[in-house]
Amino acid sequence: MNKNTFKNKLSDSSLATPPSFIRAILKATESDDLISFAGGLPNPVSFPMEDLKESSIRIIDTYGSKVFQYSQTAGLPQLREYIAHRLHQNQGMEICADEIIITTGSQQALDLIGKVLINKGDDIVLEEPGYLGAIQAFSQYQPTFHAIPLEADGMNPEKLEKVLKACSLESHPVKFAYTVPNFQNPSGLTYSQEKREKMLSLMQKYGCILIEDDPYGDLKFDGNPYGYISKAAPSGSILLGTFSKTVTPGMRLGYMVIKDADLRLAINTAKEAADLHSNIFSQYILLDYLTHHDIEEHIEKIRRLYKKQCQTMISAMEQYFPKEVTFTRPEGGMFIWATLPEGMSSLKLFEKARENKVVFVPGNPFYTDGREANTLRLNYTNSSEDAILEGIKKIGALF
């Protein structure tokens, strides 16, 4: 049967969604003889496997059939209480468990936000370069993207205001602005306090919802800590968190903090329609793990590991890349963003690198228009230091 038989039956939203570069990359990382700086994978040595094994057994003994039963959409109440408590302790945020919805990774949160907030053609703002998983999730709902260039310390405020103002004047105000202020994916950049405050004041001035996505904030290994932008305006924002980078991505557990009751109900209903609830077995295991171990100590170990890997990659890039290639120096998270000389294609470099058994993500999918770019993303967390040195040396030789 012809493979394309059903293409003419696909919905407009499906046709508007670009196929995932991530999937192609993840496929590439499956090969053993390849050095991959491509995926955004945590280092598997950071997975607390023995502790999770103990928790899996303990929850069955403790809770019995409940861990195998259907459960409520918003998630396990005790896990939501734990998250509210940690946000209070670490960030001084006043959140109650009812304002938290557990999601199937923060990726699901992005999809639910698109589903609940975007009508076709609605204006939304995001960073450029931006998280490709967000571009993909939102694309399904066919918004008008306004990508605001990211500077070394956050979104360019003048360009952001220009968009917010123009859309307001034309009576189609921007619905929401999506941002990853800590160790952004793909750039590794972090917003300064000044840019955080500026962003918040613009959100308030133009009545725009702030979507603050923070998968990497805990993985901070340098610099001063910053507070959440949404802390100062919780009712006008949605905060996203995840356990993917600090415990394990395979359990697919993240969360949304939503103060606004109408928005929360809409998200909860959309989630109910999507999957009834996130994996309850995983939620019990996670709760048990978090309450029987010192998670802050565990995270500190990950930070030390990633700091070393990041430093190794930066030193190797300084040694093996030509001076014309510039790159970011992250204070945390998982990625370095490199910019090649003007006019050079990172996609072509990618093809050559792949022939040499080393891969990264060319910049293209991080732009909403998918343009040919001279930028690329390198992940340092899932390769040994030897592999980092060898891989960077190989890429350097291609210049």
Q: Which residues of the chain form contacts with ligand PLP (CB under 6 A)? A: 40, 105-107, 131, 133, 180, 185, 213, 215, 242, 244, 249, 254
For ligand PLP, give the closer residue by CB, 229 or 389.
Answer: 229
For ligand PLP, give the closer residue by CB, 17 or 244.
Answer: 244
CB of residue 308 vs ligand PLP: minimum separation in angstroms?
21
For ligand PLP, give the closer residue by CB, 143 or 217.
Answer: 217
Nearest to 100 by CA among 255, 268, 274: 255
For ligand PLP, give the closer residue by CB, 336 or 389.
Answer: 336
Nearest to 148 by CA among 116, 174, 109: 174
Q: Are strands 326-327 and 335-339 parallel, antiparallel or unpaired?
A: antiparallel
- DSSP 8-state secondary structure symbol assigned to residue 209: E
CB of residue 76 vs ligand PLP: minimum separation in angstroms?
17
Sign of CA dihedral 195, 37, 366, 231: negative
CB of residue 311 vs ligand PLP: minimum separation in angstroms?
21
* Three-class SS state of 26: helix
Residue 305 backbone phi and psi in degrees, to 5: -60, -50
For ligand PLP, give the closer residue by CB, 75 or 316.
Answer: 75
Residue 51 half-sphere exposure toward CB, CA atoms < 13 A:
17
Bridge partners for 241 per DSSP? 255
CB of residue 190 vs ligand PLP: minimum separation in angstroms?
13
CB of residue 29 vs ligand PLP: minimum separation in angstroms?
14
Angle between helix 77-91 and helix 280-292 axes, rounded to 10 deg: 40
For ligand PLP, give the closer residue by CB, 95 or 113.
Answer: 113
On the question of a cis peptide bond just before residue 330, with omega within 30 degrees of 0, the verdict is no
CB of residue 138 vs ligand PLP: minimum separation in angstroms?
12
Contact 40, 379 (CB under 8 A): yes
